[in-house]
Amino acid sequence: MIKFKKFYVTTGIDYVNAPPHVGHAYEKICADIIARWHRLKGENVFFLTGTDEHGEKVEEAAKISGKEPEEFVEEITSTFKETWKILNISYDDFIRTTEKRHEEIVAKLVKKNFDNGDVYKGEYEGWFCVPCETFWTELQLKNGKCPTCGRKVQKLKEEAYFFKLSKYQEKLLNFYEKNPEFLSPSFRANEIINRVKAGLKDICITRSSKWGVPFPIDNRFTIYVWVDALVNYISALDWPEEKFKKFWPADLHLIGKEINWFHTVIWPAILFSAGIEPPKKVFCHGWLTAEKQKISKSLGNVIDPVYLAKKYSTDSLRYFLVKEIPFGEDGDFSENSLIARINGELVADLGNLVYRVLSLAEKFDGEIEGKVELEKKLDLRKIEESMEKLELHNALNGIWNFIRATNKYVNEKEPWKLKGKELGEVIYNLLEALRVIAILVSPSLPSSAEKINQQLGVKAGLLKDCKFKKFEGKIKKGEYLFRKVE
C-alpha cells in the first residue's frame, strides 16, 4: 500500500454573533489556497473550518435579535456556509461547536484534564467583559473599562474551576525552543515567549451560563467557551479514534493574531495535560482594515464578501486579498486597489495571454510540436519555497513572473508573422505554458484554472505535471477569463 503524506490545516472557527465580513473571508481563502496547494502536491489533505456557537456573546446577540440561541446560531451558521460556498472554500469538514460529536469530546478532554490532576475548584473574582468573553483584574482595566474594547465591565465573583496553566510554564518554554516553527511568523514569537517567561496564572475554565457544554465534573457549570472552541481541532477528528491517529498533530492552525495566546499557550498546555501532542505550527495572519479603517459593525464598514464576489468574481477577490497583503502582516482592503489589480494583473496579464494564445492555436492546423523553449522561464523551486514558507503573495509573484515571461515570448516571437513548422513550435510552447500556468494558479484561482483547462481540452494536473511534455489537449477557445472593470 502506498502511504501518502498527510496535511491537516485548520482555520479559526468563527463566532456566530454576526454574519461573515471580508476579514473572515480573508482567513478562509488563505487556508483554502494552502489546502489546495498541498492537494496539488498529491498529499492527503484534511481541511477543517467551522463555527464557534457557545458563550455569552452569542447568547446576547440572540437575545437582541429576539431569538432562541439555537435558532439564532442555525441562521448565522448557514450564512457562513453559504459564503464559503460562493468563495469556493474547499473544506473537508465543517464543525459546529453545538454538534453532539463536538460536545462529547470537549467533555471527555476536560474530564481527562481533571483526572490527571490539572483541574481544581476555586473562586473567581474579577471584572468581566461580555463582548470579549474575558475576565480582567482591577489592574488590567483601562479607566475602569475593558482594556481591549473599551466597553463597560461587570464585577463577578463566583465559585469556579481552574486549569493549572502555571504548571506548564517550563514545558511550554522548552517546547517553543525545540520547535521554533510552532510560533509563526517568527516576528510574533518573542511576545509569546516573554509573556510565558513572566509567569502563567491558572485559568478559570467554567462559567455559570447555560449556553455551553456542561462541565462533566459539576453540572452547575458549563465549560468556558474558549476551551470548548479550541477542542474543535480534535473533535472533528473524532479523538482518539482512527481519523485522529491519521491526521493529528495538525500541520497548521491558521488564525488571526488576536487569538494567538489561546492557541500557542492555553491550547498546547491543555493537550500536554491530556497526553496529546501539540500542533506543529500556529500561523497568525494580520488584520484587515477597510479603506484604512478598522472593520467593525459599529463603524458600519463591514464589507460583505459575497457582494464583492458577485460584483467582481470570486477569483478576483481571492487573488486580490492574497496578492495585496504580505501574508502574516496587516493589510488594507480598498475597492480601488482591487479594481487596479483586476485590470492590471488578471485582465492584462493572464486573461489576455490565454485569449491570444487560444486564438492563435485555434486557427492553426499544423503539428503542435517542437523544441522546448519557455520552460526555463519558470522558477518552480522558488514558487514551492514561497509556499512552504507560507509567503503566499511571493508564490503569486513567482507565478506571475512566468505569465509575464510567456507574454514577452509572444511579443518577441511575433507568431502572426510565422507559418508552418516555426509557428507550430511557438504555439506548442505557449500551450504547454498555459497548461502549467493553469496548475499553478489553481489554488488561488480555482475556477479560472478550470476554464483554462477546458479551453485547452486537458485534465486538471498536479504539481508533478508542471513540466513541458507533448501537448495532448484539444483546443476549444472560450470567453475572456476576466472582464475589464471601468
Chain residues binding Zn ion by CB under 5 A are: 129, 131-132, 146, 148-149, 151
Task: Give 132 or 217: the residue with its C-beta nearer to Zn ion.
Answer: 132
Output the smallest distance, CB 132 to Zn ion, in A: 3
Grid coordinates standing for 480? 475572456
Report CA-CA distances (Å) from 232 to 49, 253, 266, 375, 420: 9, 11, 14, 44, 61
Task: Give 9 or 146: the residue with its C-beta nearer to Zn ion.
Answer: 146
Instruction: Report the C-alpha gap between 463 and 9 in whole angstroms.
Output: 19
Output the smallest distance, CB 191 to Zn ion, in A: 20
* CB burial readout 52-63, b (16+ within 10 A) else e: bbbbbbbbebbe
Task: Supply φ then ψ for residue 479, to 5 degrees.
Answer: -70, 165
Q: Where are the beta strands (DSSP E) in 139-217?
A: 154-163, 183-184, 203-204, 206-207
Task: Give 146 or 441: the residue with its C-beta nearer to Zn ion.
Answer: 146
Task: Give 129 or 200: the residue with its C-beta nearer to Zn ion.
Answer: 129
- Residue closest to 423 by CA, chosen among 437, 413, 431, 432: 413
Residue 120 near residue 161 (C-beta atoms within 8 A): yes
Output the smallest distance, CB 56 to Zn ion, in A: 11
Handedness of CA 33, 37, 42, 45 (dihedral sign): negative
Task: Give 127 or 333: the residue with its C-beta nearer to Zn ion.
Answer: 127
Output the smallest distance, CB 215 to Zn ion, in A: 24
Number of H helices, E strands in the chain: 19, 16
Output the smallest distance, CB 52 to Zn ion, in A: 17
**Number of CB atoms found within 10 A of residue 474's CB:** 8
Report CA-CA distances (Å) from 2 to 43, 44, 47, 284: 12, 12, 21, 34
Task: Give 294 or 310: the residue with its C-beta nearer to Zn ion.
Answer: 294
Task: Give 141 or 418: the residue with its C-beta nearer to Zn ion.
Answer: 141
Output the smallest distance, CB 61 to Zn ion, in A: 15
Task: Give 144 or 199: the residue with its C-beta nearer to Zn ion.
Answer: 144
Instruction: Report the C-alpha gap between 465 and 439 in whole angstroms.
Output: 8
326: preceding bond cis by omega (within 30 degrees): no
Output the smallest distance, CB 140 to Zn ion, in A: 11
Output the smallest distance, CB 129 to Zn ion, in A: 3
